[in-house]
Amino acid sequence: MDQNGSNPSDPAVAIDHLDREDLVKLVKSMLSNGVALTFHGKRTAVEIARRVRPRVTRREPKLHVGEPADQAKNLLVEGENLQAMVTLYKYRGQVDLIVTDPPYNTGQQFRYNDKWDTDPNDPNLGTLVAKDDGSRHTKWIKAIMPRLQMMKSMLKPSGIIAVCIDDNELFHLGMLMDEVFGEENRIGIINWQKTYSPKKTNHLSTATEYVLVYARDASLGKTGLLPRDDAMDARYDNTDFDPEGGWRGGDATAPQHRTTTSFAVQSPYTGVLHYPEGEYASLPVAPKSSHHWRLSRAEIRASLQATGVKYEERDLGDRRGPALVIKGSKVALKGYDPADDAAVTKAIESSIATRQAKSWPLFFFNDSKNGKVGGGRPSVKRYIDKVVKGRIPWTYWADEEYESAELLGAQSWDHAESGHSQAGLNELDAIVGKGHGFQTVKPLRLIKKIIQLWCPPNGLVFDPYGGSGTTGHAVLELNNDTGSDRRFILVEQGSPERGDKYARSLTWLRLKNAVTGERPDGKGKFTVTADPLGGGFEFRMLTRQIDAKTVLSMKKDELIDVVITSHWEPNRRGSPNLIRVDDPRYLYLVGMNEQNEGYFIIWDNGGPVGQLDRETYRGVLKDAEKAGISPPYNVYARYEVYQSRNVRFWKIPDKILSHLGLNESSDRYNEEDEAN
């Protein structure tokens, strides 16, 4: 109930709360689409993301994992995810895949702060929304909508988003996704089996959950193929020791008449004439043409002669063009018996002997049903190395794809007992130990499958609800297993003063152990007992709001962090972060990029930000010489009073603010994608 004793979830009450502009939009939407999503506070939810302020990002070097170059590729961000997405402005329009698992609103995890309706920058996490809260669905929608809008802005034009959900908010999420991304951009709804064993219930036991998959633009987004499985490969054999490798027989014909490939072929094993429509020993009339051979005349003739039999072209009067017949054969459309043809008798001996000694040709004859060698219809070889390298995904992902028994000490969980949601917990227990208190974990195979389908091998994966770190772990495993070079960004709310330490405890620990191969030994100690996956990541923490005054008042270390984490260039937006240089030998050098270019910040004797003049430029040159860096030199300073063609100048605070989507004079968030 609200302060007036009304229930805000009541549709009549919700309409009473709408102002004239909202009512006009609602009516127009219903008239044009027939269906509209409306809820109390929708107007605020739609506009709230543009009022969120970016934050200062503080790097936490003690929590970085891996070598500096590997750290720069991946991010684990501690902070509120809407604020984090606004702060990660350099990645706007640069993400290939968003895969995320938001709170399911079951009364156990989802928190909502009522102050967010007017101030989305309020740092309070809010209170837990109980399952019997009459406005819990409205609160969930109001929290998710602005985050979906920001997720859309982070996707590339070809980007894909996959959101995990259960039946508590499935229908609301579907309507939200349709509204934000457009129904025409819905790729599909995946139904995945999360458990084997039914639970006792008054009605139906839930065995599945869902993944809603949308594209930013379905005409540009691509869905990949899944790796081939053993069952598919088992269909291919190589009994004839073909040097081309494993193969299976396929139909040698295809529907539709084609004048160039509808001719007759005489079998070297039986002397019978074969047309694409069937076989004929003696024909009163030519068969009606409805099919054609899949191979060209030249390919078929080469295959026939590979049996050790010579062939020639001959017009049989069937209006099909010259037939390929055994040289010297008496074959004819009427009154012909292959048993009386000496050329056929000789051909049978030769072809059978050749078949036993050599691999079969591309166009070959099957054995007949009674076992006669080559007595059946023609087929073509389909080599395993030449078929599509994968399988088309279905919308139903069955249980057998996730069966996994994880080990932790002497304890083993079998998939038939634990189910697949439990498999995710088993994987987490195995890598960080028990007692973490995290209960909702997706299995690695599920997330890896999504990444394989919708993120290219060198793409960027983003998860704004990082949770236990499954998405980052999946990226590291795929990179290790397949040689891909995907990157990840994970955001997880961390609030140590409130006892919520997931970002720097659970999430960080899982990713660190995945990189290093460390596992718990059952006594609280971690030792390397698994194969290290390699890679690395940076850990960052969101702190205070940022503006021009904040930038100019920053201490050296803090400003360096902001530059290192926010810098991007027009042709390199979304590229890995700069690698920070911490070396007392350098006066101004603070970072390097992948191209080995140097980044410098000019300081006035270690105090306020200085200016680029002739004297400070000499200091830049000295640092560059020590580090072996060639121009161009990227220089951050308050003013530029000395210019050089070797310098790319970045004005403080202007460029820092613009890299965060802010403008020094107006200090407002950049709204270039507002119409989208």
Among residues 393, 434, 401, which one has the least CA distance to residue 208? 401
Q: Considering the chain, what is the average pLDDT of its residues? A: 82
User: Is pLDDT above 60 for 449?
Assistant: yes
User: Is pLDDT above 90 for 239?
Assistant: no
Q: What value, to the nearest 5°, has the Cα angle with vertex 128 and ends 123 and 134?
A: 120
Could you give the CA distance from residue 93 to residue 617 in angstroms, rounded to a whole number? 35
pLDDT higher at 332 or 433:
332
Domain contains 414: yes
Domain contains 149: yes
**Shared-domain flag, residues 370 and 439:** no
User: Per-residue pLDDT tens for 524-553?
Assistant: 788 898 899 999 999 999 998 898 888 988
Q: Is 664 exposed, middle or buried (0-12, 13-18, 19+ CB in 10 A)?
A: middle
Could you give the CA distance from residue 464 to residue 477 in angstroms, rounded to a whole number? 20
pLDDT (average), residues 341-358: 94
Domain contains 668: no
Confidence band for 228, pLDDT divided at 50, 70 and 90:
low
Confidence band for 214, pLDDT divided at 50, 70 and 90:
very high
Token couple for 162: 């996959």
**Shared-domain flag, residues 152 and 102:** yes
**Shared-domain flag, residues 51 and 189:** yes
Cis peptide bond upstream of 653, omega within 30: yes
**Final residue of a structural domain among 481, 516, 540:** 540
Could you give the CA distance from residue 143 to residue 154 in angstroms, rounded to a whole number? 18
**Shared-domain flag, residues 106 and 207:** yes
User: Is pLDDT above 70 for 402?
Assistant: no
Domain contains 675: no
Token couple for 425: 């917990």
User: Per-residue pLDDT tens for 153-206?
Assistant: 999 999 999 999 988 788 889 999 999 999 999 998 988 877 655 566 666 656
CA distances from 541 to 73, 106, 432, 496, 557 (A): 17, 28, 22, 12, 14
User: Is pLDDT above 70 for 391?
Assistant: no
pLDDT higher at 105 or 551:
551
**Shared-domain flag, residues 491 and 517:** yes
CA distances from 115 to 66, 123, 127, 129 (A): 39, 10, 11, 14
**Shared-domain flag, residues 59 and 92:** yes
Domain contains 664: no
pLDDT higher at 379 or 605:
379
Tokens 């000789």 found at? 346
Domain contains 669: no
User: What φ, ψ does residue 488 adopt, rounded to 5°?
Assistant: -135, 155
pLDDT (average), residues 344-367: 94
**Shared-domain flag, residues 114 and 178:** yes
Structure confidence at residue 392 (pLDDT): 61
Residue 392, C-beta contacts closer than 8 angstroms, at least 6 positions apart = 225, 226
CA distances from 393 to 187, 224, 284, 397, 401 (A): 12, 9, 49, 8, 12
Q: What is the DSSP letter of 326?
A: E
pLDDT (average), residues 215-233: 77
Token couple for 349: 């001996």
User: Per-residue pLDDT tens for 622-643?
Assistant: 999 999 999 999 999 999 999 9
Amino acid found at 599:
Y
Among residues 520, 450, 371, 575, which one has the least CA distance to residue 101? 450
User: Is pLDDT above 80 for 215?
Assistant: yes
Residue 255, helix vs strand vs coil: strand
User: Is pLDDT above 80 for 667?
Assistant: no
Interhelix angle 508-516/470-482, nearest 10 degrees: 20
Query: Which of 263-277, 436-450, 596-610 shows the lowest per-residue confidence on average (mean pLDDT)?
Result: 436-450
Amino acid found at 423:
A
Could you give the CA distance from residue 222 to residue 567 in angstroms, rounded to a whole number? 30
- Percent residues over pLDDT 70 in the chain: 79
Structure confidence at residue 661 (pLDDT): 87
Domain that holds residue 567: 547-659
User: Is pLDDT above 60 for 3?
Assistant: no
Among residues 75, 91, 81, 76, which one has the least CA distance to residue 52? 81
Cis peptide bond upstream of 632, omega within 30: yes
Q: Which residue blocks in 358-469 are alpha helix, DSSP H? A: 415-432, 444-454
Pairing relationship of beta strands 396-397 and 407-408 according to DSSP bridges: unpaired
Residue 598, helix vs strand vs coil: strand
**Final residue of a structural domain among 386, 414, 436:** 386
**Shared-domain flag, residues 85 and 223:** yes
Could you give the CA distance from residue 542 to residue 57 in angstroms, rounded to a whole number? 5
Among residues 558, 626, 638, which one has the least CA distance to residue 587? 626
Structure confidence at residue 439 (pLDDT): 65
Token couple for 543: 């702190």
Confidence band for 17, pLDDT divided at 50, 70 and 90:
low
Query: Which of 148-152, 232-236, 595-599, 639-643 shows the lowest per-residue confidence on average (mean pLDDT)?
Result: 232-236
**Final residue of a structural domain among 510, 540, 570:** 540
Write the DSSP string, 496-544.
Answer: GGGTB-TIIIIIHHHHHHHHH-EEE-SSS-EEE-S------BEEEEEEE
Domain contains 671: no
Could you give the CA distance from residue 468 to residue 76 in angstroms, rounded to a whole number? 11
User: Per-residue pLDDT tens for 655-665?
Assistant: 999 998 886 55
Pairing relationship of beta strands 589-592 and 579-580 according to DSSP bridges: antiparallel
pLDDT (average), residues 319-347: 93
pLDDT (average), residues 258-266: 89
Domain contains 666: no
**Shared-domain flag, residues 15 and 45:** no
**Shared-domain flag, residues 357 and 422:** no
**Shared-domain flag, residues 575 and 529:** no
Are 513 and 506 spatial neighbours (Cβ–Cβ below 8 Å)?
no
Query: Which of 406-415, 424-433, 439-448 shows the lowest per-residue confidence on average (mean pLDDT)?
Result: 406-415
Total domains, the chain: 4
pLDDT (average), residues 67-91: 92
pLDDT higher at 408 or 283:
283
Are 373 and 365 spatial neighbours (Cβ–Cβ below 8 Å)?
no
CA distances from 602 to 247, 559, 608, 657 (A): 66, 11, 9, 17
Structure confidence at residue 196 (pLDDT): 59
Tokens 């036991």 found at? 205
**Shared-domain flag, residues 6 and 116:** no
Structure confidence at residue 445 (pLDDT): 87
Among residues 267, 298, 294, which one has the least CA distance to residue 281? 267
Q: Give the CA-trace dihedral at 572, 665, 80, 153, to 10 degrees.
A: -50
Amino acid found at 493:
Q
CATH number at residue 41: 3.40.50.150
pTM given for the model: 0.71
